[in-house]
Structure 1
Amino acid sequence: MSTQGEARGRDPVLVTGAAGFIGHATAHRLLERGEQVIGLDIVNDYYDPALKEARLATFAGIDGFSFHRMDVADAPALAALVREAGVRRVVHLAAQAGVRYSLSNPFAYEHSNLAGHLAVLEACRHVPGFRHLVYASSSSVYGDRPLAGGGFSEEDPAVAPVSLYAATKRACELMSHSYAHLYGFAQTGLRFFTVYGPWGRPDMAYFGFTRKILAGEPIEVYGEGRMARDFTYIDDIVEGILGALDHPPGEPAHRVLNIGDSRPVGLLDMIAALEAALGREAQKIMRPMQPGDVTATYADVSRLEALCGYHPKVMIEEGLRRFAHWYRGHYAAPAMALEG
């Protein structure tokens, strides 16, 4: 790993979606190791903008960080920023997230995910000596299918998305593949498996469950509780992002890698861990699967492990304890003893 002084002397890293959950954590980790970071985010109202502003406030006074309130799909403005700032490494995390939201707001995904990704590709390909673009894909590209014995592998087909969100993420992978073929610059797509932790997204199930459990309200458990997710703690995800960033591909210039915990957890088991973290039992209302949801996710992370030694460390029980502690502090929830 570079020393802080050496890192400061290198080109800055552009992090799109810096006000978002993963972008915020990634930018902080880059700063901690001495990088200069340029953050970019439009700070829209898909979920509470106050949370995004609070994330941005954590960068106040930190040397080496600058922020641009900008739409990633504004191709001319993005290209000018990349060119003028001397950016040669990009971590592209800005996107319209969420499966269910895509059912009612499809054009938000066309704009942020497709036009936004194309704008990033165009900005990068015109930079002499560009080093590496790492961008966010999703485990949803695998579609809804039974768990494989060793988890979902990058070699598995990704041709049957069951949501528009998944379709746009797969489209981004194909766009990157074509740009790598045409222009030869290094790119890595990371297929994220359910990320959770402090400063997380309010539209995620564990976050909404926490609010309702603490308020004494019932929670709706979709899929009758039979779903499973490869819940991955935010710190583990960030280490994988930086590991990938530091090891750009050679030939071929584009690759996709899974990034997850590789230990899928049943939805009811996750709720039990959350109940323990909060010290309260949830009132559960069982519901059928919702359109666009998949039954289970399970990451085979052997490629990322071989590349950079990636090895998730935080188990779901500990991760949810940390989240519960942050949630109470951030939202001034009633103080209750945390178990463990």
Structure 2
Amino acid sequence: MPTSSTPAEKKITLASLGEFGLIASVTAGRTQPASTLLGPGDDAAVVAAPDGRVVACTDVLVEGVHFRMDWSTPEQVGRKAAAANLADVAAMGAVPTALLVGLACPADTDVELLQGLTDGLWAEAEAAGAGVVGGDVAASAQLVLSVTALGSLDGLDPVTRSGARPGDVLAVAGRLGWSAAGLAVLGRGFRSPVAVVGAHRVPEPPYAAGPQAARAGATAMIDVSDGLLADLGHVAVASGVVVDVRSAAFSVTGRLADVGQALGVDPLHWILTGGEDHALAAAFPGSVPEGWLVIGEVRAGAAAVLVDGRPYEGGPAGWEHFSR
């Protein structure tokens, strides 16, 4: 039986395991989807692109900016990192196929933490039908994840931000405001309600809704990562239109309403401006697919985002890294 004089169990760090030992550890026994023709282990991966086009995007997540290890488990951080990129692929109307992961961290980082991160990355990729096909590891003063996602358009045209037209209806798929509410709870030093805190730790993007919208004729689409109004602003500018959101379209019930009441915040503010839920917002020329909620309309005019016909006066429209 251990005594007070027994040495503590020594942690295995990246320095002791080594770069290639870590790679072997996190790739062993993993399965890949059919789109992965050649996975980890060579100079580069080979991923199928049946129609000759590849959708590609990348995000960088920095500890202390995008995530905190005292707020989330390593697996939750890995899932969130993957989801942020896979949602961007879906927002183009594409089906996710692969992730490439760049990891930079201190040499004394616990390998168990890194294993948790990669478990999360693999789990979220699998949930979206994609594989983790390669990456790189480097030394750094802090933990940084760089994730690149690839996707297949499967014969469809990409849905960009620039196609919205006057007369289109505006709709969303996925939840809004939950991650922002969870962040507010964590920022106050609490860990519950679990539903909203969990939404901040691990978003649930509606991956299948992206290709669904493309097949239904969506004219424009975007991943809601920085806040609904902020991201719709990109659509308005790219399309040269006015986007008018109807606040009455959103029903605030359950935990979101409870948290808003407890913290003295109008939950509608989280819905309109909160980021990191990774819902999808799209414009449609007519009826919207099942599962999408109509929240407004597109009109002619100088590029602008309105709420109930007026500029939003409840504060910043969303997150912008270099303005704070």
By the TM > 0.5 criterion, same fold?
no
Structure with the bigger percentage of strand: 2
Task: Indicate the structure with greater helix content.
Answer: 1
What is the TM-score of this pair, normalised by structure 2? 0.27
Structure number with higher relative contact order (C-alpha < 8 Å, ≥ 6 residues apart): 2
TM-score (norm 1): 0.26
